[in-house]
Amino acid sequence: MKKKSGFNVKMFSQTAMLSALTIVLSFLEGMLPELPVPGAKLGLANLAVMTATDLFGLTGGLSTTLVKSFFALVTRGPVAGFMSLCGSLLSMFVMWLFMRYDRKKFGYVGIGVMGAVSHNMGQLCASFAMMGSAVLFYSPFLILIAVFTGAFTGIVNSILLPIIRKSEKYA
């Protein structure tokens, strides 16, 4: 039932809304208390990135990712912006690959976990480039916490995405 056209207004507006949502979620996340692992976050904004990637593929994922990183750049400085960009780009790409693979093989939780782990690994690689081997000490803790935050993202999206897709049919 998809119409093939050069410019898809529905996709354009929904991607814009999801991009705006990443900013709101990033802001909300900043107000939450710290997680036990230094530097780790719940990844609320990743929710919107996962939703956009699932609904609109790479286009949706890329635009939400860029908006999210730009928000980090403006509010938390160039280092945070660069870290956010590295983490979210890798995360989005990995989630996209896993989503394309096979609908039956991986569930939402698996994709969420892979997204969170690759997000943290992307950031770790970026900080490795800047700081050297000292940052590797954080890697196992970042993997462990990503399993939890990613599972959370996956569970929330397993509830949200079917509802969004169902509502699409009546829109």
Partner 1 sequence: MNNNKERKKVTVLDFVLIAVLVCTALFIILQQNKSDGGELEVVVKKNSEVVFNRSLSDISGVTEICVDEEFNVIICMEPDGVYVKSSDCSDKVCVNTGKITKSGQAAVCLPAHVSVELKGGKSEVDVVVG
Residues that bind partner 1 (CB under 8 A): 1, 34, 38-39, 76-77, 79-80, 83, 103-110, 113-114, 117, 127, 130-141, 143-144, 146-147, 151, 154-155, 158, 161-162, 165-166
Choose between 19 and 85: whose C-beta lies nearer to partner 1.
85
> Could you tell me if 50 and 119 are in contact, meaning their C-beta atoms sit under 8 angstroms apart?
no
* Cα separation, 159 vs 171, whole angstroms: 19
For the record, the structure tokens of 58 come out as 């790479």
Q: Whose Cβ is closer to partner 1: residue 71's or residue 108's?
A: 108
Q: Measured from the CB atom, is 16 or 129 closer to partner 1? A: 129
Least spacing, CB of residue 73 vs partner 1, in Å: 13
Query: Closer CB to partner 1, residue 7 or residue 137?
Result: 137
Shortest spacing between CB 164 and partner 1, in angstroms: 12
CA–CA gap between residue 10 and residue 68 (Å, rounded): 21
Structure tokens at 119: 């997000």
| CA within 13 Å, CB half, 35 | 16
The nearest distance, CB 157 to partner 1, in angstroms, is: 9
Distance CA 32, CA 105 (A): 34
Q: Which is nearer to partner 1, 19 or 44 (CB)?
A: 44
Min dist. Cβ of residue 7 to partner 1 (A): 22
CA distances, 72 to each of 7, 145, 154, 157, 168 (Å): 29, 21, 23, 23, 31
In the complex, least distance from residue 76 CB atom to partner 1, rounded to whole angstroms? 6
Hey, what's the torsion of the CAs at 23, 27, 32, 33, to 10 degrees? 110
